[in-house]
Structure 1
Amino acid sequence: MHAYADRCVWDVLETRLADLRASGARSLRFLDAGCGPGTWLRRLVMRAHALGFTSITARGFDIAQAQIQRARLAARNLSGLPGVSLTFDVADLSDRLPEPDCSVDITLCLYSALSHLPIERLTDIATEIARVTSGHFITTVRPIGSTPTAFVDSVESVRRLKHDHIKDRCEIDLCDGRHMAFGFHLFTAVELRSHFAGNFEIEDLRGLDLFHSRFTPDSRWNPVLQADDSHFAHELERLEKAYAASAEFMDRATHLLLVARGRRTVTRLK
């Protein structure tokens, strides 16, 4: 259902990798803040290796020990590639980063890792991310008009879901009896830009998946389409590109994508 947004994110990442390689760079450093099971970082390392980077240093971290265990298990064969140093740590995005100033070529913070942070801390956290990022920072978050999500399971597995926009708190009761409650902030595009514009040059800010997931057939309900639907897919693509940066539409996308370039001189956190 969400393949379109994934493809858009990957296109951005792959383009930045290709640009760096075309510039003559042979060494590369990645940081994935809130990496989850490490899927995106593994993809980047493999693609960078295929493009001919001879020295690749990559670190992912997440606050959840279980996610880091999964990430380490899935990446156990990649560290054996020549020139690759890939590590995963348990760490909090609110803490100071161990990376030196202006040392990271691409910093990731994907799929709403920022939404779990106290919103009043976000500008300071953005400053710390900017301190270590010499290249690009890429993040995706959920906007205020996005469709509901159950995070750890499908929406069909949810008995009750409630998001309190005043308290930035989400509560979920799953059909199997599990209960979850956690902080989660939904962003506007203007708000997201405001937290990062002071320390980064914003290159791209747009909505991802305004239409695709809403028009995805559901095999439990819709019949299998016999006719070629390539024209319909083309029209969806055209609509996405036409409205992705529209102020009236982007806050109703499934995700907001922000792509920013780091500035060499930033204010250091005390």
Structure 2
Amino acid sequence: MLKKNKKQNKPKVLVILGPTASGKTKLGVDLARKFKGEIISADSRQVFRGMDIGSGKDLEEYGKGKDKVKYHLIDISDPKKDFDLAKYQKLAFKAIENILKRKKLPIIVGGSGLYVQAIIDNYDLSSFGANRKKRDELEKLGAKELFKRLEKLKQDFAKKINNSDKNNARRLARYLEIVENGGIIDRRLDSHYEFLILGLDFPNEILRERVSYRLLKRLEEGMIAEVKNLKEAGLSNERLESFGLEYRYINRHLNGELSYNNMIKELEIASYRFAK
């Protein structure tokens, strides 16, 4: 799938989208080498340090030495700290400008739908301040209740939220806080860029095989040890649950709630559903 937005005579930005395990990073790196580009990660988990395997940073894909493709917005935050949509958008626009100044092509590689959307549609998030007390109160309601409330208040916006964010009480609390305070979370400003959007897609059978292969590969690479290290660093069960499927199911396994085999089985099923 190829889509071009109608922004003419503006700096070009390439966007690569696709389901999990679709090879977005590899394609982004290949195109960066061919067209003198640099990668901007649009994954809500890749911003955090110490979450390399479960978030699929695939840093080896970028190469080494002179052949290395420069990347942005990876390993820039402590996983114990909040990192929201407004902060990502600000840093992403800064990265785009930095890349363009050096006469390179910005290539956004998507993972989190809202992160990509905030760039392409230029959401106006500048006026939204954080109310920590209010957000803490909302988080206690749990992800399921928060999403239900958000869906009721702003259905169109709720439809854009991916499965990972639907289970992220912290992020949902932030969105709901904005909406309940009268903010228009998806208000758009005119974009400064022209976006070429490439979408990757696979038949279900192939996608299932790719998801299964990737899961086993990540387990072999030490994904369980990665989650264990995060727990030992002081991340709570709630925080790990909010980081998506891999961290959620492995954390449950480490807590004795799931056997190793059941963890793999349930994680594989959940990952495939998410990828679809």
- TM-score by length of structure 1 reads 0.32
Give 1 or 2: higher strand fraction: 1
Q: Which has the higher helix share?
A: 2
TM-score (norm 2): 0.31
